[in-house]
């Protein structure tokens, strides 16, 4: 039985010096066979397991994770959540996720610190202005809240932005989605893990997948560092390493894995109470609850699995940040890191069945997967349980690269990839 | 950041170069006879290898010439560089 977190449990545990909290999830050895196995214990994988158990009554399932849960891109992103995508298919997908975010802490009984502080996207040239206005209209037609802001309104909403017209990247306007914001990335993985575990899901850490066993065109199980696990359904949610797993099954995916960098500053008093994204120059900034500036940079242009990017990428981002926010000129950066993002040619994700029966892929989220975590898990669980996609992820099938029916979000997604 | 030995200019900073993706993907000889699956394979599907990968690079801020590189994508170590049209080195 899972104890509920509440103010009473906090008081009760305080009396015993917080030494008797129940474990949030178990540490089981893998069983011989499961009804389904999820490969990858990040936010998306754990959410998939959670919804498989909760909505589809699949309780005899496992999540296998090479390292520790939430230690990949879930722990490395800049936690931005928004749904202001241009195309209908993307708007449907990301707003589905945003709606789940709005009630997620209550549902999981775990504070994911979802904060709807708004996300502002800046326009730096006339083409940006046209694109952002078009996207604002498209968003509103899809029922997604979006407003276009003039330079003066941008300045009013976030006073520390330098809006003088003679800078290298002048601010000509911007868009604002007020329902957007941030969440605590670790808490999302831990909350889903705790929820899934309570429904009987085995979360198996330090268990690397070494091979996928096929019988003709269907899956029979997976070889792992903890032995063979028999299963008829394998859902791969391995982000940057999706192609590595696909190669084990003899599949090729339309992905390239590249390093994406982020960095945080020393903690300071509250100075920026929203998220500002400057897409043309790859400079994203918000402030964490600890007070650190959280800064997102761009990707390198070469394939790499090293989880560290090139110095000039960070330098370019910081140049832009300093010009837009002169007040940050003496901030010192504490940490810098990279995560490996798997990017599709159309910059949209893949949530799909494959040519192999029982093998499903959830990948290609590229630089912006964190925001979709709850929706991705929900829709992928539906796809695995029913062997058919939900109508919200039907467009994100693998076959679109054959049919040509791409969801081209390059640039359209408010982010230059 | 790493140094790249351009076959025409010598060792230069990586910043001068542009990555051009997987190498040795042959343009279809009979494009009109290609099926949709074959087009998808040519246009979109990539090996995206973790380990030794053959790829194209361009010395964009230098001689602007293209060349090939063999690189270990798990640690960014450059194994070999050879000119366009040359045979790739045996692994």
Q: Which domains are seen in chain B, by residue range?
A: 3-83 (3.30.2270.10)
Mean pLDDT of A143-169: 96
Chain A residues 262-321 with CB within 8 Å of chain B = 300-306, 310-312
Note the pLDDT tens digit of each residue in A272-291. Answer: 999 999 887 888 999 999 99
Rounded to an integer, what distance in angstroms lies between the CA atom of residue A123 and that of residue B63?
34
pLDDT at position A281, please?
Answer: 80
Mark yes or no for CB contact A310/B44 under 8 Å: no
Mean pLDDT of A37-45: 98
Burial class (CB within 10 angstroms; exposed 0-12, middle 13-18, buried 19+) of A394: middle
**Which of B1, B36, B75 minimises the CB distance to A403?**
B36
Contacts of A255 in chain B (CB under 8 A): 46, 48
E strand segments, A316-377? 333-343, 350-353, 359-363
CB A340 within 8 A of CB A73: yes
Rounded to an integer, what distance in angstroms lies between the CA atom of residue A173 and that of residue B59?
36
- Write the CB contacts of A92 (distance below 8 Å, at least 6 apart in sequence): A142, A392
**Which of A304, A312, A401 minimises the CB distance to B73?**
A304
Chain B: nearest CA to A300, how far in angstroms? Answer: 9
Confidence of residue A3 (pLDDT cuts 50, 70, 90): confident
Burial class (CB within 10 angstroms; exposed 0-12, middle 13-18, buried 19+) of A45: buried
Confidence of residue B37 (pLDDT cuts 50, 70, 90): very high
Rounded to an integer, what distance in angstroms lies between the CA atom of residue A103 and that of residue A111?
10
Mark yes or no for CB contact B46/A252 under 8 Å: yes
Residue A412: pLDDT over 90:
no
pLDDT at position A2, please?
Answer: 79
CA dihedral A370, A375, A380, A382 (to 10 degrees): 170
Helices (H), A71-125: 88-108
ipTM: 0.94
Contacts of A403 in chain B (CB under 8 A): 36
Residue A146: pLDDT over 60:
yes
Chain A: nearest CA to B61, how far in angstroms? Answer: 14
Note the pLDDT tens digit of each residue in A163-198. Answer: 999 998 899 999 999 999 999 999 999 999 999 999
Chain B residues 40-59 with CB within 8 Å of chain A = 40-41, 43-50, 53, 55
A316 to chain B: nearest residue by CA?
A: B15
Contacts of A300 in chain B (CB under 8 A): 19
Mean pLDDT of A194-211: 97
Mean pLDDT of chain A: 95
Note the pLDDT tens digit of each residue in A280-335. Answer: 788 899 999 999 999 999 999 999 999 889 999 999 999 999 999 999 999 999 99
- Write the CB contacts of A126 (distance below 8 Å, at least 6 apart in sequence): A172
B70 to chain A: nearest residue by CA?
A: A303
Mean pLDDT of chain B: 94
Torsion sign across C-alpha atoms A299, A301, A307, A311: negative
Note the pLDDT tens digit of each residue in A361-401. Answer: 999 999 999 999 999 999 999 999 999 999 999 999 999 99
């Amino acid at each position: 039985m899972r104890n509920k977190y509440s103010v009473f449990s906090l008081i009760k545990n305080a009396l015993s010096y917080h030494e008797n909290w129940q474990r949030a999830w178990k540490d089981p050895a893998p069983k011989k066979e499961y009804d389904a196995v999820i490969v990858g214990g990040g936010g998306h994988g754990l959410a998939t397991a959670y919804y498989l158990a909760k909505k589809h009554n699949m309780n005899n399932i496992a999540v296998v994770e090479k390292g520790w849960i939430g230690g990949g891109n879930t722990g490395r992103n800049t936690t931005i959540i928004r749904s202001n995508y241009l195309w209908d298919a993307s708007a449907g997908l990301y707003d589905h996720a945003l709606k789940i975010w709005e009630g997620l802490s209550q549902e999981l009984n775990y504070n994911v610190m979802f904060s709807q502080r708004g996300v502002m996207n800046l326009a730096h040239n006339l083409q940006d202005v046209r694109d952002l206005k078009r996207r604002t209209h498209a968003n509103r037609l899809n029922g997604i809240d979006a407003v276009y802001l003039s330079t003066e309104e941008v300045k009013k909403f976030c006073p520390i932005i330098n809006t003088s017209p003679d800078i290298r990247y002048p601010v000509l306007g911007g868009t604002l989605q007020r329902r957007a914001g941030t969440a605590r990335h670790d808490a999302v993985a831990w909350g889903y893990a705790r929820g899934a575990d309570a429904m009987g899901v085995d979360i198996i850490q330090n268990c690397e997948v070494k091979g996928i066993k096929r019988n003709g065109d269907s899956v029979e199980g997976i070889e792992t560092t903890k032995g063979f696990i028999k299963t008829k359904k394998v859902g791969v949610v391995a982000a940057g390493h999706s192609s590595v797993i696909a190669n084990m099954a003899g599949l090729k995916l339309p992905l390239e894995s590249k390093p994406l960098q982020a960095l945080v500053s020393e903690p300071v008093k509250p100075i920026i109470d929203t998220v500002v994204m400057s897409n043309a120059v790859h400079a994203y900034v918000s402030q964490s609850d600890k007070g650190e500036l959280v800064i997102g940079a761009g990707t390198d242009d070469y394939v790499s699995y090293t989880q560290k990017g090139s110095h000039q990428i960070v330098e370019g981002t910081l140049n832009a940040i300093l010009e837009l926010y002169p007040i940050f000129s003496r901030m010192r950066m504490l940490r810098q890191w990279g995560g490996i993002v798997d990017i599709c040619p159309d910059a949209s994700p893949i949530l799909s069945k494959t040519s192999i029966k029982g093998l499903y892929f959830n990948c290609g989220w590229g630089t912006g997967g964190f925001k979709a975590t709850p929706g991705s898990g929900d829709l992928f669980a539906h796809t695995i349980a029913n062997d058919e996609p939900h109508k919200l992820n039907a467009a994100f099938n693998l076959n679109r690269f054959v049919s040509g029916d791409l969801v081209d979000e390059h640039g359209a997604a408010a982010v230059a990839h | 950041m790493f140094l790249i030995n351009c076959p025409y200019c010598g060792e230069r900073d990586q910043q001068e170069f542009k990555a051009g993706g997987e190498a040795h993907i042959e343009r279809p000889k009979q494009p009109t006879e290609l099926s949709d699956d074959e087009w998808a394979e040519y246009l979109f599907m990539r090996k995206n290898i973790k380990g030794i990968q053959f790829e194209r690079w361009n010395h964009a801020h230098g001689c602007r010439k293209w060349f090939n590189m063999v690189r270990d994508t798990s640690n960014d170590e450059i194994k070999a560089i050879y000119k366009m049209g040359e045979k790739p080195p045996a692994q």
